[in-house]
Amino acid sequence: MGNREDLLSGAKRCLYEKGYGRTTARDIASASGVSLAAIGYHFGSKEALLNQALVEAIGEWGGALATAVEAAEAGADGPQEVFAAVWDEVLKSFAEHRGLWAAQFEAIAQVSHAPELREQLGAAQKRGRLGLSALFQGLPTVPDTEDELARGIFYQALLAGLAAQWMASPEQAPSGRDFLRGLQLVSGSVLNPPQPTP
């Protein structure tokens, strides 16, 4: 690896261990074994490096999640069981990647003061939505259509909400079965509302 790759690797490690807001340039230089000056040379600023490291780390988590989802789908029988099993795997991934999720929430809180970060996260959002749509349907990719984006928006909202609940209180976070029951209740009342009696 070269200095650029070492810096990205060190920045990712710092995101996991120290978070987005508490990571200093010196922390990254120390974690990567590269000089402080190299950060400016390769990325222009510590923030630009952290932003790129965060987007890459989220992508790596997505790859790990895809593997977990495939395992859940292989071990479950029927779409409802698969749905519940997949969300249980998502919960397990939070435990393994807690530092990354904490860093993401920290970064999101900074976007109003960091236009560069807002731009990078915004650019990654559409890709993420399409990726989630494909992932939860068990497909390698999906077309960039309004339907697939809508499906991805739904999954992204579930994912972010579950992550927030898990970060606040892991023992009270809903299970895959809880998610399935909620989906059944909400879809029943929204898609098949009771008809008024004449």
Angle between helices 3-18 and 36-43 (to 10 degrees): 110
Q: Are 160 and 187 in contact (CB under 8 A)?
A: no
The C-alpha atoms of residue 93 and residue 68 are separated, in whole angstroms, by 8
Q: Are 107 and 54 in contact (CB under 8 A)?
A: yes
Residue 10 tokens, joined: 């060190």
pLDDT digits (tens, 9 = 90+) for 65-102: 888 888 888 888 888 998 899 899 899 999 999 999 99
Q: Are 81 and 32 in contact (CB under 8 A)?
A: no
Residue 137 tokens, joined: 């349907």
Domains of the chain listed by start with CATH number: 47-190 (1.10.357)
Instruction: State the pTM of this model.
Output: 0.85
- Beta strands, E only, 67-164: none
98 CB neighbour count, 10 Å cutoff: 15
Q: How confident is the model at residue 194 (pLDDT cuts 50, 70, 90)?
A: confident
